[in-house]
Amino acid sequence: MDHGGHGMMMDLPPFTLARGLEFGGDPFFLVGCVLALGLYGWGVARLWRRGDAWPVGRLVSFVLGVLTIAVAMCTKLNDYGMVMFSVHMVQHMIISMVSPILLLLGAPVTLTLRALPAAGRGRKGPRELLVALLHSRYMRIISHPAFTIPLFIASLYALYFTSLFDFLMGSKAGHIAMMVHFLAVGLVFFWPIMGVDPGPHRPGYVMRMLELFAGMPFHAFFGIALMMASEPMVGVYEHPPARLGIDALSDQTWAGGIAWAFSEIPSVIVLVALVYQWYKSEQRQARRIDRTADRDGEQELAAYNAYLASLQSRSR
């Protein structure tokens, strides 16, 4: 069976989790994952060699984020996702909602800024260019909720409920571009919310939670719309291969349920992370206040002792 103009036979056996997790998938993402791990490892090693610490939790989080991309795109899930809507939706949800959160908790931008050497006076190296990009008008626009939330929503409705999805699935390059888009949208959406790396848009913790929950209901509605549809809504999945033994409408219902469930799971993960960050921030603020109070107290005591000494000298 030639599927979607890919020029490849999708003669797959019925889907099982074991078959889906077999090694395979797209070499583009395999190379990307290896490169990401290599660059991150270089940055951590550079800090360690000069005696600087880097939290192990950030390292673990980033590695897990890359591994989730590898599972979604470098296994047979990628093949089954071409002919099964439900498997594709698992890929989409991992790439756009799980992987970005884990990658951002790894603070790759902070690591890059600390690992890259500073250029000499009057010169611009990679570190200075990255700092300029972070403070640019472009970054202020793409990190603002007025941009991130509509983009997050449009990536669902404008893609799946139009002919754009069928067009992108019609070529290997289109499929890769779509998955890269999902990952980029997830990173852009969660970047200001997570607040681990520096950026131009850093709202308070309450506002971050509001931004998080502003997009999630639309995600849930998208899943419900797929579950309640009485006919297949995506052309490329209307006629799954008979060998798979699946019905297009029931597979779409599963896809909708997966989309609906994933609107809840990442929200809980991010909410827990935000509450923890808030708690740690309050602790740091309390310690700063205590240190300031201690210093001020010593100054007040020294001033009072000097005042007493001056009174005593006058009385002589």
Query: Can you say whether the dihedral through the CA atoms of 55, 57, 62, 67 is positive or negative?
Result: positive
Tokens 């795109």 sit at which residue? 73
pLDDT at position 267 over 80: no
pLDDT at 104 (0 to 100):
93
Among 38-52, 129-143, 251-265, 269-283, the range with the most confident prediction by mean pLDDT is 38-52
23: helix, coil or strand? Answer: strand
Closest CA to 116 of 146, 124, 296: 124
Give percent above pLDDT 70 in the chain.
84
pLDDT at 118 (0 to 100):
80
Q: Which residue has the higher pLDDT, 283 or 109?
A: 109
Which CA distances in Å does 104 have to 79, 107, 120? 28, 5, 30
Average pLDDT over residues 253-278: 81
In tens, the pLDDT along 234-247 reads 888 998 888 888 99
- pLDDT band per the 50, 70, 90 thresholds, residue 148: confident
Residue type, 1: M
Q: How far apart are CA 185 and CA 207, in angstroms?
A: 20
pLDDT at position 290 over 60: no
pLDDT at 208 (0 to 100):
78
At residue 23, what are phi and psi to the nearest 5 degrees?
-65, 140
Closest CA to 219 of 81, 97, 303, 113: 97
DSSP, res 235: G
- pLDDT band per the 50, 70, 90 thresholds, residue 248: very high
> Count of CB atoms within 10 A of residue 216's CB?
17
Strand partners, 75: 23
- pLDDT band per the 50, 70, 90 thresholds, residue 3: very low
DSSP, res 239: S
- What's the 3-state SS for 192-220? HHHCCCCCCCCCCHHHHHHHHHHHHHHHH
9: helix, coil or strand? Answer: strand
pLDDT at 11 (0 to 100):
77
- Two tokens at 179? 């998955």
At residue 210, what are phi and psi to the nearest 5 degrees?
-65, -40
pLDDT at 181 (0 to 100):
94
Least confidently predicted of 51-65, 220-234, 295-309: 295-309
Q: How far apart are CA 270 and CA 277, in angstroms?
A: 10
DSSP, res 53: -
Q: Which residue has the higher pLDDT, 1 or 40?
A: 40
The alpha carbon of 64 is separated from its chain's Cα centroid by a whole number of angstroms, namely 12
Give percent above pLDDT 90 in the chain.
38
What does the mean pLDDT of the chain come to? 83
